[in-house]
Chains A and B, each alone.
Chain A
Amino acid sequence: MTRRSPVGAGESYPGLLATMRDGRVRALVVRYPAGGD
């Protein structure tokens, strides 16, 4: 799921992301654009 960021230059970011390893879903990742990563 791709979202458009309301901050910055409005880049897209993955709101919901599945990370894969060896062809399998390893984790489900949810991200918000404003954060302290």
Chain B
Amino acid sequence: MAVFAAIAAWNAFSYPPLGGFDASEHISYARGLAERGEFAAGGASYTPPGFYVLAAGAIRLGDALGLDEPERVAQFMNAALGVGTALLLLVLTRLLFPGRPVVRWTALAFFVCCPIVLRTVAMFHPQPLALLLSTLALTLTARMIVQRRYGLWTWLSLAATLGALQLVRSVGLWTVAVVLLTLIATAAADPSHRRAIRNGLGICAAAAFLLALPWYIHLQLTTGSAVFGRSITSTPLSERWPAAFYVSPGLPAVITEPHRGALPGEFLPILYTDTWGDYFGIWSWSPPRPELTSRVNRRLVVESVVGLPLTAFALAGWFALLGLAIARLRDAPARLVVVLMPLVSLAGALYYAVQHPSTDADTVKAMFLLTAVPTWAISFGFAADTLLARSRRIALPVLAVLALCALVALQFATYASVS
């Protein structure tokens, strides 16, 4: 945890404020709020204002401190949000797997070493706040189900979190869906609390929706699209993306040239290379960072390779949890949040890409699935714990290889080592 906090702070200190995805648009939005109290027109105006309100305060603080780049205070805020999410991950894992510390600590290790996390919390971007609120919502839901506490304050805090999440990023809707589905499944699996869940869930869903409603009305009036704030294409479904976009694994370029210069814009390859490497060139290459030379490409290749066993292990853990959820839902319905979150996020990202096709595949980014990383981490932790319990002889060398891969990924996620 200390290593994560130190790297996150160092990245916030060294990563250029204008370096992240659409950074100038996000900064301009926050500055507009800080200086004139106005919403952005154009640029990132389709993004809800939750993050920018906080970022505007951070910029004001940076101005008051006389910093050359006052936006850095918002980057430090994002680093702190990343650390807060890591703490919540520990709490969530403890709730879901009590008495199994291996799940907890290996999940934390995965979360810390997955480059998309440290990369995103270094940027001036709303996504880290969405990550924290999403993880908080999952934790509150799990706590409610595990401890069978369906009191008014519990429901209200969940509603406030879900409402706030929708006011930060539209991806928050996927978390809302996961929470609702998990609670519905719990009500179905637990007849003794069915009535309490049914009544509370109705109030919670209504309150969460009402909190975000003014923003949805604003978007509908200004853009004609209440949720995403972007016009939906009229292109027929079959012509939006080529068939390869949906099914191609991107081999061999996903390993040999994992960047947008060579790897075609396809769904899964972009998500993979943007998670473990730097597909879009916002971290380790592309001006003002180093050019995409063979040396830089070799580094991206290494990242793609070390991501393979980590992804495979997390995926195996997720499949195992899916099987458990199907076979023994009654035993631990709260674990459904871990099973549903990656699935719903992936479906959401695909839906968004299909609704907004672009020539450069700019509407597909691993960051859109950032809120699912804590649940991938728990899946990884579950696989590690299960393997260790079954066969220490097999588990130890496997975990040693995974730890080595994770360390390589962690080094890549340290901006000073790639810039």
Q: Do A and B bind each other?
A: no
Name A residues whose Cβ lies closer than 8 Å to a Cβ of B: none
